[in-house]
A and B are shown apart, each in its own frame.
Chain A
Amino acid sequence: MTVTNPIDRTVQLMRDRLSLGSLNHEVIAGNLANMDTPGYQARKLTFEESLRDVMENGGLQMVGTNGRHINPTDAGEAMRAPEVSASGPVDLDTEMTRLAQNSVEYMYMVTLLGKKLSLLRTVIDEGGK
C-alpha cells in the first residue's frame, strides 16, 4: 500500500469493507443454518466498533510516508482483523435484521465504489484534453 497509488486509500477502504460485507453475510448465513442446532452459539462479526474508533481518532487523515513519522493508525487495519465472537442462542429477528442491513450496506458500498471509479475514469478520459 503506497501513497503514490493513483487508486487511493478510499478505494482500498471500500474494497476491505466489501470483503467484510461478504464475510459478515457468511456469519449470518451460518447462524441461520444453525438456528435449530442444539447448543449452537450465534456468531457475530465485530469490526464496526474498532473501525469507528479508528475513524474518530483521525486515522484517515494521517498517512505515514516516512519511517520517522509517528505511527499512523490505519483504518483499514481495523477491517482486516475482524473478530468473530459468540453471543448466545440464535435470534431469528436479529439475524434477519443483520442480513438486511448487511445487504443494504454492501450494495451502498458497491454503488459508492462505482462512483469513485467513474470519477477516476473521468480524470483519465478528460484530463489530457
Chain B
Amino acid sequence: MDFKTAMRISGSGLSADRAWVGVTSANLANAKTTRTESGEPYRRRTLIYEAVPVADPFGAELASAMDGEVQGVKVVEVLPDQRQFQEAYDPSHPDADDNGIVRFPNINTAEEMANLVSASRSYQANVAALDTAKRLALKAMEIGK
C-alpha cells in the first residue's frame, strides 16, 4: 500500500499500451502485404489484455484485504484476426490467382488508426497516473518540514 505499487500498476499499463501501439503499427505497415512465410497475405494481429495482480517482491508484508482487488494489466497473447482477407480484382498483380483476384490482408486502415488513437489516449492516462503518484510521493516528503 504505497506509491511504488501504484507506479508498478501504471507501468504495467504503459507497457501494455506500448505493445498495443506496436501491434497496431505492424498492422498498418502491413496493410497491403500479400506475401508472408505461410504463403497467405499478412493476417491482422490483435492482442489480449488481462488484469493481473501486481507482482510485488515484498508482497507478504502488504498482504491485506485489498489483495487481488487492485490489479495491473498484462498482454497475455497476440492473436491473429480470423476475419476474411480482402479480395480485389487486379490481374496485373504478381500475386493474382488465375481469375485475377488478389487477396489482401484483413486490415482496415481507419480501424487501425482509431485503435492507435485509443492506445495513445490510454498511454497518456497511465502517464498522468504515474506522474501523480510521483508528485504525491514527493509531497509526502514534505511532512514535518
Contact = CB atoms under 8 A, between A and B. Distances in A.
Task: Kindly state the interface size class of chain A when it binds its partner.
Answer: 35 or more
Given A18-B140, A96-B125, A26 B20 contact: no
Looking at chain A's contact residues, the main secondary structure is helix
Contacts of A38: 48-49
Nearest to A30: B70
A107 B139 CA distance: 7
B31 interface: no
Interface stretch (B6-14, B34-42, B99-107): B6-14
A34 B66 CA distance: 17
Interface of B: 1-3, 5-7, 9-10, 12-13, 16-17, 20, 48-51, 54, 65-66, 69-73, 118-119, 121-122, 125-126, 128-130, 132-133, 135-136, 139-140, 142-145
Interface of A: 18-19, 21-23, 25-30, 32-38, 40, 43, 81, 84, 92, 95-96, 99-100, 102-103, 106-107, 110-111, 113-114, 117
